């Protein structure tokens, strides 16, 4: 009995350690493959299940007890049915491999596959996660419990062994549900903090810190790969008059709507930022100077024609001045790119506003 407990404890330790390691690794963008590819996730779950078999306890020459089914359940509940079934197939094949083809190994592989299919199907049901956990653990206990009960029919310790085994499965299920729920909560909070650290609180656009980080990145990429990037500096004309006339709350509404206009007028991979106050910037990736001027004119026209809704059923119109610079047409230095875009913006402001000027 002590050996059974020791084996199950080792299995549980391996599972917890692996889940924690996976949590850490999946925070790194380089491991995004395992978040998006079902077969990749299923493969590593299959490897984990196979490792657990290596640390199983042989009740007799044919019967092995371990927690190999948990990686399958993880895939069913947190990835997909495809990943769960693929993991089950790999674990079942490994079970046959280590002891050869026999009635017991084939039965074990069949039970593993049945758990993969059944838990995968349960994972697709529109149920609360806790209910899914109860369902897959009930399925696992029913299939493995009845099988072990039958195979140990000649063993005098059958009841105690089965009680310990099923108790370990249920206890591990409670532990992993709590652990994974905690990890999921932590991930959500980290993602929220990451977003808040990168975005402007008012408009939801990138903040200056994140903008300059992206600018440095794309500048390096541009220089190394002979690509093009353009920079727009944008300022709302006479924005002080908007605040003085309607109040700062309505001024904030104008800035929020302007942020949406800028996002709609640019591509998904362009970087749009609020520099501060009524000043904005847009980094247009893989965009030459001519294309940047066209984009800037489109933004200027969209803003000019937009009816900005305010409180108390009021509305207003605004215009913007835009300065444009580009790499490599205008400069090959990041400091010059910023300086030229700024100078072009002030040229637009000094030339009557509601204009686009090129550095």
| Catalytic residue of the set 278, 279, 304, 339 | 278
Does the structure show a pLDDT above 50 at 177? yes
User: DSSP letters of 323-358?
Assistant: EEEEETTT-S-HHHHHHHHHHHHHHHHHTTSS-EEE
Share of the chain above pLDDT 90, in %: 57
What pLDDT, on a 0 to 100 scale, did the predictor assign at position 26?
62
If you average pLDDT over every residue of the chain, what do you get?
89
pLDDT in tens, 84-120: 999 999 999 999 998 889 888 999 999 999 999 999 9
Does the structure show a pLDDT above 50 at 31? no
- On whether the CB atoms of residues 143 and 115 are closer than 8 A, the answer is yes
- Compute how many other C-beta atoms are within 10 angstroms of the C-beta atom of residue 306: 17
Mean pLDDT of 16-20: 83
Does the structure show a pLDDT above 60 at 35? no
Rounded to whole angstroms, the Cα distance separating 230 from 286 reads: 8
- Tracing tokens 């903090």 back to the chain, one arrives at 193
Rounded to whole angstroms, the Cα distance separating 46 from 5 reads: 23
Lowest mean pLDDT of 2-11, 45-54, 62-71, 124-133, name the range. Answer: 2-11
Rounded to whole angstroms, the Cα distance separating 136 from 159 reads: 23
Domains of the chain as residue ranges with CATH: 2-198 (1.10.1760.20), 208-358 (3.30.70.270)
Higher pLDDT, 219 or 123: 123
Confidence bin at 359 (pLDDT 50/70/90): confident
Rounded to whole angstroms, the Cα distance separating 145 from 151 reads: 10
- Compute how many other C-beta atoms are within 10 angstroms of the C-beta atom of residue 294: 12
Q: Which candidate, 36, 130, 2, places its Cα nearest to that of 77?
A: 130
195 assigned to active site? no
- On whether the CB atoms of residues 87 and 116 are closer than 8 A, the answer is yes
Q: Which candidate, 63, 147, 149, places its Cα nearest to that of 99?
A: 63
Task: Name the burial class of residue 27, with classes exposed (0-12), middle (13-18) and buried (19+) by CB atoms within 10 angstroms of its CB.
Answer: exposed
Adjacency order of strands within the sheet including 229-236:
271-276, 279-285, 229-236, 320-327, 356-358
Q: How many residues belong to the chain? A: 359
Lowest mean pLDDT of 11-15, 57-61, 98-102, 135-139, name the range. Answer: 57-61
pLDDT in tens, 150-167: 888 888 888 988 898 899
What pLDDT, on a 0 to 100 scale, did the predictor assign at position 3?
64
What pLDDT, on a 0 to 100 scale, did the predictor assign at position 4?
62
Share of the chain above pLDDT 70, in %: 94
Q: Considering Cα of 326, then 331, then 337, then 341, what sign does the dihedral take?
A: negative
Contacts of residue 187, defined as CB under 8 A and 6 or more positions apart, other chains included, come to 23, 27
Strands 279-285 and 229-236: antiparallel
Confidence bin at 63 (pLDDT 50/70/90): confident
What pLDDT, on a 0 to 100 scale, did the predictor assign at position 91?
96
Mean pLDDT of 272-293: 94
What pLDDT, on a 0 to 100 scale, did the predictor assign at position 168?
87
Mean pLDDT of 287-294: 94
């Amino acid at each position: 009995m002590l050996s059974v407990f020791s084996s199950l404890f080792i299995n549980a330790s391996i599972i917890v350690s692996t889940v924690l390691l996976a949590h850490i690794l999946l925070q790194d963008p380089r491991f995004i493959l395992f978040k998006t590819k079902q077969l990749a996730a299923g493969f590593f779950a299959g490897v984990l299940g196979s490792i657990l078999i290596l640390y199983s306890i042989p009740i007799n020459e044919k019967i092995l007890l371990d927690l190999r089914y948990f990686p399958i359940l993880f895939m069913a509940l947190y990835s997909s049915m495809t990943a769960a079934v693929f993991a089950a197939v790999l674990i079942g094949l490994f079970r046959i491999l280590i002891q050869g083809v026999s009635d017991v190994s084939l039965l074990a592989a069949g039970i593993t596959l049945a758990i993969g299919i059944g838990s995968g199907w349960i994972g697709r049901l529109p149920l609360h996660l806790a209910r899914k956990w109860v369902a897959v653990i009930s399925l696992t206990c029913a299939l493995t419990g009845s099988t072990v009960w039958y195979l140990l029919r000649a063993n005098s310790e059958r009841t105690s062994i089965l009680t310990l085994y099923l108790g370990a499965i249920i206890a591990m299920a409670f532990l992993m549900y709590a652990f994974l729920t905690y990890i999921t909560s932590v991930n959500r909070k980290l993602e929220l903090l990451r977003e808040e650290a990168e975005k402007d609180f008012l408009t939801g656009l990138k903040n200056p810190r994140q903008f300059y980080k992206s600018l440095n990145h794309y500048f390096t990429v541009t220089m190394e790969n002979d690509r093009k990037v353009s920079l727009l500096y944008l300022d709302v004309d006479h924005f002080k008059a908007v605040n003085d006339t309607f109040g700062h709350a309505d001024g904030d509404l104008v800035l929020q709507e302007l942020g949406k206009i800028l996002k709609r007028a640019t591509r998904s991979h362009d970087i749009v930022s609020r520099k501060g106050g009524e000043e904005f910037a847009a980094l247009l990736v893989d965009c030459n100077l001519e294309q940047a001027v066209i984009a800037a004119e489109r933004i200027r026209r969209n803003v000019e024609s937009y009816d900005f809704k305010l409180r108390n059923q009021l509305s207003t119109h605004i215009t913007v001045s835009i300065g444009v610079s580009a790499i490599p047409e205008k400069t090959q230095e990041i400091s010059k790119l910023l300086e030229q875009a700024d100078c072009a913006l002030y040229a637009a402001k000094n030339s009557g506003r509601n204009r686009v000027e090129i550095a």
